[in-house]
Structure formats: structure tokens, C-alpha cells
Amino acid sequence: MSDLRRLEERARDARRPHAGADDGLVVCDNLVRVYRTDEVEVQALQGLDLVVEEGECMALVGASGSGKSTLLSILSGLDLPTAGRARVAGHDLLALRRRERLGYRRHTVGFVWQQTGRNLLPYLTALENVALPMKYVRVPRRKRAARAAELLDVLGVAYCRDRRPAELSGGEQQRVAVAVATANAPRVLLADEPTGELDTASGEEVFAALRRANEELGATVLVVTHDPLVSEQVRRTVRIRDGRTSTETLRGPGGGGAEEYTVLDRAGRLQLPRDHVERYGLRGRVRLTAEPDHVGVWPDRAHDSDPSA
Ligand code: ADP
Ligand code: MG
């Protein structure tokens, strides 16, 4: 890479609201995922950029079909992108060999699915479910049981330890699922609509468990959600639109003072939030003004009044 290019990249990264060049724990750069089925081609991710710093607990939102689950499958090591770059805790997800991929999935990431039934084995108790991932990485039996009990305790479901999934409520199952996902102390915890099938109160308990995984177990948490209760409680919410990250909302402590950000891509394109576009009547050509420390975007009134436009 030329020095100029490097400087440009550094400047671009410095402008991002929440990025430090390449040192994020999760770094997605121009990620593309195309699904081909017979004649049809679906572009699920269309050049997505995302940086998540170690220790963050952030929400990912977006309409159905916008590419959220596709992104999470890639980050979990289940799926491969068609192009672009994805790096998690120093692992290049496009370059992992089979054995490394397995190690990555067992040690580096934990996953919680929306469907409660998909997270737990029905014939094992909660404690046995949590101990299982540790067995795969050869943690001695006694240590497994001790850590499993401790995790269930931290996540508020110690009383469920000897019950099988069928004897647990949906919310309890999802909290046990968080314990399973954090059993091997992953750096990153991914959750795809984990509260989607739950009522509000159970959803809150599951989100509290995710937050504990973040604050007390040290996992960086990325949660896909439609639930405003969740997205309002995290500091950063990233919105995916058409397979790209579009806007970010940052909230101060206590949930107040939300600030909107949008992502500037490599070519200098940025997507304005829809409500801004409507509120200021922006369409077609817009007028730009260069101010000392910012750029102004104005509706093109001349253009609006031009009958030939
Ligand atoms: P979200 O989770 O945001 O609802 P997805 O990532 O599941 O979105 O899907 C993004 C797009 O990719 C959708 O148009 C979906 O139909 C398509 N898609 C997802 N998985 C597949 C697949 N295995 N084969 C073909 N198309 C898929
Ligand atoms: Mg999905």
C-alpha cells in the first residue's frame, strides 16, 4: 500500500464515529455475500463496513431481509463471504482452514439463536448443556460442572440447573443458551434476535443476561434485534439497510442524548436517514455548502421550481 493510501485510510478511520483503524475486535471491510440459486442471484451483503471495539455491547437493527443473519453467520464462522474482509480477534475469516475454523467456533465466538429449541439439546439438563462445549475443548469434568454452575448463577438461572429444556420457559431457555454460548469464554458473543419469540418481561431478562455476559464475563456482544427495549439500552445501535451499514445511533450514559451518525463509504457516498430526507424535502440533486468545520446539505430549490426537472 502506498503511503498516501495509508494516510487516506487512517484519516477515514479517524472520521468514523467509533473506529480505530484496524484495531477493532471485529472488523468488516466491504463485505459482500451473494447467494446464487439456479437463475436467481441475491446480494445479501453489498459492501458492508463495521468495526466493533473490544468490550462493546451493541445492537444491530434493520428490516427483514436486510442481511443481519447473513452477517452473523459469517462472523460465527458458519458461512463465508463472497468478497471483502472480515477479521475477528485477529482471525481472518476468509483464510481459516478447516481445523482453525473449528477452533475459532469453539473458542472465539459464542452464538445464541432466536429459536429457543436450536440452542439447547433436549435430552440434557441445563447444567449438562452448559458443560458440553467445555467437553469439546477437553476441560476436566469437575471443572466443567463448577464453571457451568457458576455461569448459570451469574445469568440468574441457577435454579434451572437440573431441568431439561422442556421444563424451562422460553426466557429461561434463552438465558441458559447465553450460558452455553459463553461456556468457553468467547471474545465475541453473537445473538440473532434472541428475544424475538419472548414476551416483554422474559425478553428483558434475556437481555439482562447478555449484558452480564458483557460486563461480568467480558464478552463483546453483538445482538440483532427488532426490540426497541434492547436497542434503547445499548450505547450503540447500527442500522443495516440493503446489505450495508447505513446509520448509527450513539447514546450517552443512562440512555439519554442520542446522536445520529451515518457511514461514509470509500467512494465518499453517504446515506441520509429517511426521516431527514423527508423532513428537509431532499430529493434528486442537493446543494452542498463547505463550512469551516462541517458540510451543509440543502434542498435544491432552483431544481424544485424548474418545471422541466
Ligand atoms: P435478515 O436476517 O436481515 O432478515 P438475511 O441475512 O436472512 O436477512 O437475508 C438477506 C437476504 O438474503 C434476503 O433477501 C434473503 O432472502 C437472502 N438469503 C438469506 N439466506 C439465503 C440462502 N441460504 N439462499 C438464498 N438467499 C438467501
Ligand atoms: Mg434474520
> Residues 241-259: pLDDT tens digits?
888 887 778 887 655 667 7
pLDDT tens-place string over residues 31-81: 999 999 888 899 999 999 999 999 999 999 999 999 999 999 999 999 999
Domain 3-262's class?
A: alpha beta
Sheet (strand 83-88) strand order: 40-52, 26-37, 83-88, 91-92
**Domain map (residue ranges) of the chain:** 3-262, 274-305
pLDDT digits (tens, 9 = 90+) for 264-276: 766 777 777 777 8
pTM: predicted TM-score of the whole model, two decimal places: 0.82
Higher pLDDT, residue 1 or 87 = 87
194 CA distance to ligand 2 middle (Å): 11
- pLDDT tens figures, 112-169: 998 888 899 999 999 999 999 999 999 999 999 999 999 999 999 999 999 999 999 9
Residue 14: pLDDT band (50, 70, 90) is: very low
Locate the ligand 1 atom nearest the alpha carbon of residue 72 and give its number: 6
Question: Which ligand has the shortest distance to the CA of 62?
Answer: 1
Task: Take atom 13 of ligand 1 and give the residue whose Cα is closest.
Answer: 65
Burial class (CB within 10 angstroms; exposed 0-12, middle 13-18, buried 19+) of 223:
buried
**Crossing angle between the packed helical segments 170-181 and 126-136, to the nearest 10 degrees:** 20
Tell me whether strands 236-241 and 57-61 are parallel, antiparallel or unpaired.
parallel
Task: For residue 297, give the H/E element and its range.
Answer: strand 295-299
Query: Residue 231: which residues within 8 A CB-CB, separation 6 or more?
Result: 59, 61, 225, 237, 249
Say if residue 110's pLDDT is above 80. yes
Q: How far apart are CA 93 and CA 10, in angstroms?
A: 23
Q: Which atom of ligand 1 is nearest to the CA of 63?
A: 3
* Ligand 2 centroid distance, CA of 68 (Å): 5
Closest-approaching ligand to the CA atom of 73: 1
Cell triple for 71: 452477517
pLDDT tops 70 at residue 307 = no
38 within ligand 1 shell (Cβ under 6 A):
no
Atom of ligand 1 nearest to the CA of 71: 6
Residue from 70, 78, 190, 224 whose mutation best tests the ligand 1 pocket (most atoms within 8 A of CB)? 70
Q: Does position 178 have pLDDT exceeding 90, yes or no?
A: yes
Q: Where are the alpha helices (DSSP H) in the chain?
A: 3-15, 68-75, 98-103, 116-119, 126-136, 141-154, 170-181, 200-215, 228-231, 274-279, 301-305
Q: What angle do CA 163, 113, 94 make, to 5 degrees?
A: 135
Supply the pLDDT for residue 297.
86
Could you report the per-residue pLDDT of 198-220, keeping only the tens digit for each? 999 999 999 999 999 999 999 99
